[in-house]
Structures are given as structure tokens and as C-alpha cells.
Structure 1
Amino acid sequence: MRPTLQTVADAVGVSRSTVSNAYSRPDQLSADLRDRILSAAADLGYAGPDPTARSLRKRRAGAIGVLFTATLSYAFTDPYAVQYLRGLAGAAEEGRTGLLLLPLSMDDEEAAVAAVNDAVVDGFCVYCMPEWHPALAAIQARGLPVVAGQRRPEDGPQTSFVGIDEAAATRAAGDHLVALGHRRLAVLGEYFTVAQVTGPARIASPGDVPYYSDRERLRGYAEALASVGVPWSAVSTVNAARNGRAEGAAAAAQLLDRAPRPTAIAALSDILALGVLDAVRARGLRPGHDISIVGFDDIPDAATEGLTTVHQPAAERGRRSGLLLLDPPTDPADRTVVLPTKLVVRATTGPAPS
């Protein structure tokens, strides 16, 4: 029979709570008594209280659950995700807790919900998930603190928000392009459709996009174009199969190999924008002269490539998310953090070609 806390208590002739204190509150016991308890436990083959059961009793699991709908390798290879998780990890270290990465399937929603229900965590950080995914409802049902990067009307009072004004960020980029004379704009993103395919995406209006970030970023570009009389129907939109450089180049090819091609391409991430740069250069075109390109995020490679982009503080976003989870404020007004963004103009944008 497997030894238990009670087995050790009976062997030493003390109470269960005294044995428990030997592990969790040694300052409450004399050194001699604690040594006798630990020695008896070793002889009996008792390894100590179960950490999962102990955490549930104390309502502290010692981990933050990080949810995203991507492969696990994405968290370690995507430059923006790496910066975000670095910031989150820094906050976790300060709070003496860990991170539990939970990549949730888009194809098996039942398994995703089960993963959320089974996760032994103190709270959830929603890094990247569509707002209709059933796993979000499962999170709300657990009643744990949640920090999200997207706003949903149905989110409960335990949900905090740490993010940016997505629409204002791309409105600044759009204003920059229209000021340069661009009227034939194309926008390239990963989440214009639920299906992960590369190809044209027919979007009647930005509000039809099922993903919060992409929907808001499209809205910013739409507002900038509307300010100079360009309707949304004049904008070309292409979906990339995933947020990768090769996929960005493949999506850009569908815009560059037709006439008339756009005078500017706005990608909703820097990784996709770098793929656009590859496709443009492969065709002998000059970025910033023959066609303008804008990204989003300001990852390190954006500066190296001279990419005009929108800077958002990825590491700070992760850090603030962790701090809100570990020490939720009592005032609901303090549970919303909107971080600043900045348009960084580099060599890949210029006047629209005549």
C-alpha cells in the first residue's frame, strides 16, 4: 500500500497536521521533531504531500496558463511571441510562479475545452485566440483571473485587458500612406478567414472578419482611406495560410502578378511584411519606389530590412499581463491597460508611383 501522510503520522506518533508542517511550515517545529518525521517518511517511502492537491487547497497552483491557437513551436520561433513571453516570464519570476503553455486546437474544440478544464493554474493569459472559440467560455466558467488582449462584451468581471488600440495604430499607418498619394491599397493578413489557406479574401467590411486584432487593424486602414474618399470596396485583401515569411511571399505574389497591382501593401504583421519584401525584390521591384510596404509589430528584423511598421511594446505587454494576473486590482478601472503604439517610418514607404 502506498504510504500517506497518516502513515507517517502514525509511525512517529504525531498528528497529520504536524507531519504536513514538516514539509510546508518547518519553522513551526523543533529541528529534532522535523528530522524524526522526515527520517520516518524516508524509511516508509513517503515522498511528501502531493503538490497538486496542496495547491488546490491553498488556491495556488504556482502557474499561469498561456493560451494560443498555434503549434507549441510557434511560441519559440515567432519573434513577437518570443518578446511577449519573455515579458510574461519576467513577471512570473517576480511572482515566484511558472508558465504553462497551452496550444489549443482549432480543429478539435472538445479537446481544447478539456485542456482548459484540466489545467492546474492560478489564472489564464489569452495570447492569441479567436473570440468565438469555446475554450474562452470554459475559462470564464472556471472563475479564475483572466488577462486578454482582445475585448469581448461577454467577458466577466474577472477578465482584465492588456493591449493596444489596434485601429488607431493602423489608422496612423494608413494616414501615412494616403499622405504619400496611395489610393490603390492591398492588405495582407493571416486571420481574414477561419480556413488556413492562402488566397484572396472577400471581405465586405472590416466588421466581417472573425478575429479581433485583424478586424480592428482593417478598420484603421478603412478609416484612413475613407478620409480621402476611397471606399473599402476598392481595397484588395489576401489571406496567408500562416504567419510565416514564405506564406507572406506567396500571398503577395497574388497581388504583384496582376494588373493593376497595388501601389502599397499593408501586412498585419512584420513576418508577413518581410515575405512581401522578398516577393517584391524577386520581381525586380524597388520597395519604397515602385511599391510601398508597411508591417506591424516592429520586430528586430524590421529595422534590419528598413521596414516601415507600427511599433507595439511586446515585452511590456507580456509583463503587464503577468502582473495583472498575479495581483489583480480591486478597482475594475485598473484592469484595463492600453499601451502606446508608434508608426516607425523607414525605407519601404514612399510616394505613390505616377
Structure 2
Amino acid sequence: MILITGGAGFIGSNFVLEWVGQSDEPIVNIDKLTYAGNLQNLSLLERNTQHIFVCADICNSDEMSKIFAHHQPRAVIHMAAESHVDRSIHGPEDFIQTNITGTFRLLETARHYWRSLPEELRLAFRFLHVSTDEVFGTLSADESAFTEKHCFRPNSPYSASKAASDCLVRAYHHTYGLPTLTTHCSNNYGAYQFPEKLIPLMITNALSGKPLPVYGDGQQIRDWLYVNDHCSAIRCVLEKGRPGETYNIGGRNEKLNLEIVHTICDILQREHPVNYDYRNLITYVADRPGHDRRYAVDSHKIHHELGWEPAETFATGIGKTVQWYLQNQEWCRNVQSGEYRKWVETNYIGRI
């Protein structure tokens, strides 16, 4: 049995669905069900006994200890995190609590559980921490992509909190011997992504005829990773990764933000034509504070050591993503609650 935290979120729910589809091994899914955690993402598993859902907070050490003792996982995949840069600017405390304190308490629980295991099980145990390329800071247009050896230079409360959690994971390996693994991924996209992030925000706004807010000049560059490719990389690292190591996971798809928006508009114009040009909805808004100009990760290590590479190009991945949102507009309406509308007003009103 394996245990995942944050398994009702975007990346987590995709991982759980793929795990159940490709393995007979049970998976325990711990999620606090904040605004971005959604059990509707896992409705296909409603009667599947292989998926065991537990609504719990990773900051609650007593609850975590009981869950570990009861389910006896052979591995932990730690995805639970506050992950939106803009939200971290408006309210950083939640990011400190979940990303730093939550990771610390989960590590402590895992450490005590791991030490109690028989030697054979202790040697096989793994704690895989899912992190982000944003811990490395920003790159200029002509700089080489981030490798695993780059220093951390976080520029937002979100990325600082993730860098701190990464350091805790490293320390627990080097101090206590806990067999940890850390991954740094580039920007994910795909099904079930909460529409505060760029790609689902553009799709859902366009379908509603609302403005498509583009920060600054739209020339920020990101490397885009299809979520199912990310899930396959995590499974690969869990199976083959060396304890104490970190692995970058990239999609090999560096794109300008404005290019992403244009691509979405053009796909929608073809697949869901309306009586207006989607590109005319593009609205430039004031840039966010401390906005990193470029992210890019060098994923040669995971390819050469573990044999992983992405299966999707950006063209195939974005096509599948737009189609999913077109076919699941009820899901979009359900997640765009009063909490979501309040957030949009907080973040975008006044920028235009």
C-alpha cells in the first residue's frame, strides 16, 4: 500500500486515477479538501475499494500517526501544498503553515513510523516529496535551464515555502537516514486543474466571453509539462530513484505566456466557434509583484539515470486539455464557487 497527500487536488487526483488504472496496489489518499481539493475529481473511484480516502490535515500529527499505524504504507508521495503564487502574495501565512509546518510534521510522522519497521521493510520504504522549479528563482532568456545543482533563489512566498520544505526533506535524509526523494517539476497543465492557473483560467473565461487577463507584456516564459507525463515521472522516481537524490521533471516545452493564450484561443475558435474572435478578449493587466521572467528545467538526469521522458508534445497535450474542459463544463461551473469568484475579484479587479 502507498500513501499520497493532496490526492484530491489537480496533480494528486490525476496521479490517483492513473495509479488505480495501472496497479492493483491500494492507495491511501489524504486531503484536507481546501478550495482546490475536490472529490468530484475522483468520482470514477467512488466504489473502488483500492482507493481509500481520508479527510485529514497533514499538520495534525496525531491524525497522521494513526493513519500510518493503521494503513502501514510502504511509500509516501507528498503532494499536499498551497501552490498558487498570487494567493501567496495576498496571504502568505497559509503557505508557511501547509508547506513548511505540514511537511515537517509529515516528515516526523514518517520518520518514527519508518524506524519502527522491520529491517526489510525499512530498507524498501520511500518518502517522495513533490516540489517545483520555482524554488530556483528566475532565468534570463539566454541562461541555461535549471539543473538539480542550482542554488535555491525563491522570489515569492510560495516558492520560498517550497524551498524551505525541500531543505527539511534533505535534512531528514542526511540527519536521520530517512530514504527521501525530491522532484522539481515545471508548470503542469491538464484535466482537473483549478481555474486560477493560466491555462484553465483562459479556457473557462473564453468560453464565458470574459476578459483573458495577461500579466504585463505576456512575455514570461515557462516550460509546460502535461500532468500525465508528470505522474509517470513520479512513478518512475518512486520505483527507480536513489534515496537522497533530487530529479528535475520538465516537458521540454518553453513557451511565452502570450503564445499559450493565443494557442488556446485558436483551438477554441476551431473546436468551439462563437460569434466573436476569442483573441479579442485578451486584456493586458498590471504585472504581479516579483513576477519571475523565465523558468526552465534540465531533465537530463531523470532521462539518463531512470529512463523517463515525456510522452506528450505541447501540441498534443494542449489539444487534449482544451477538449477536456469543453467536455466537462459542469465540473468547471461547480468549482467556480463563491470562494473562487471572491478570489478573482481580489486578484484581478484594479489591475485592468
TM-score bucket (shorter structure): 0.3 to 0.5
TM-score calculated relative to the size of structure 1: 0.36
Larger Rg: 1
TM-score calculated relative to the size of structure 2: 0.36
